[in-house]
Structure 1
Amino acid sequence: MPKKAKKKKEGRISRPSWLSRLRQALLIFFLATQPLFFSAWNTEYGYTKSVYTLVLVSIILILWAWEILRSRETKVELSWLSPILPALLLAAFLSLTGQTPACTVLQSAVLILFFGFIFFLILNAPEQSHPWILGALVFSGCLNALLGLLQYLGIVSGGPGGRGPSAMIATMGNQQFLAGFLSYLILPGLIFLRAKKGWII
């Protein structure tokens, strides 16, 4: 009996802590809402999204730090893409040698750093969170596409012109930003469909 109990205990999978679950839930919530977030009182959509990103990612990082302090150990996974982050930061700071204002450079560097943090948070997310992360991105993309379509038809107010292609700004504030965001989601969307249903031949 003791041997069986011991074997059963060894085979039991340890559940993540409540801090880890909260951190992952906030990450998924952030990925689903950040592309949709905008303020009706601020026409600069990028500014409101930047502030939202800084606040939410800071909270997630604080939770991660708290989790590490409680467990006294952590495992951080890196990717071959990781060196791109310091390279982008270096390029941002090199622009200080030109005529770019220092405040603009620092703002850009902070945003680059925080989006790098998002990359590492996704990279270190547990495998069971991957479908939720992909689903959150696809969800925000679908809602943005739907809003852009309604603006195109003139049902919902959008950019200048009232309707047509010029009105399709969704929550991005710019046609090019919306088009870029949706095009970037093609591959994650295919991965999400592949993981859920398999390829249809």
Structure 2
Amino acid sequence: MSVDLGFPVLRTTDPAVALRIARRLVGVGGTRHAEVMADVDLPAVDDVLRARARWPQAWFTWDGPVMWEQGELVDPTGLIGGVRGTGLPLDPGLLADHLPLRMELCDLPLGSIEDDFVALAARHVGRLHWWNLGWPQVPELGLHADRKHAEVTALFNSPTPALQERVDEHTVLVHVRDRDNEAYMLRQASWVAGQVGLTVIGDPMRG
């Protein structure tokens, strides 16, 4: 089973710039089968309710303490396992006891969520991730065409895809297949970045 590495190619304090550059990088790859996914941590009840109203198909999950009883997970709200927005409890008091909630949107068409999502994620910690792209063959650089892990990520207010630390900066990553050949991976990521006038600016990240 292969994994990917994400090379940072842009850091900016402007979320609109991060989105614009990420979209240009997505365009470098083949987008016929491409999809987008997103997740964001929501620290306030109003944020959760607005997000649920906008994306009722989203999943909402609470990373709270796990309790077991006779070998069974105790999860009366369903929020530890995750619930669809259509099944999300709407009682403000209950929601307040389970913050932050993480909202996830999965496997959606390009252009279907990006602008609205960035307006939300720019105030919180989140990411947009485009996958199922295709980096083209570049014979003069010895690069093979590759669909596996040809991906782009825009991180909002987080330095890594783990979304565990907040910073007031947004980072764009170009992903390539993790190979034993570090020079090849760097060359491929650099070529993709170079198509929009950028270059690799830091160490690669997993996830």
Q: TM class, shorter-chain normalised?
A: under 0.3
TM-score by length of structure 1 reads 0.20
TM-score by length of structure 2 reads 0.19
Question: Higher strand proportion, which one?
Answer: 2
Greater relative contact order: 1 or 2 (C-alpha under 8 angstroms, separation 6 or more)? 2
Question: Higher helix proportion, which one?
Answer: 1
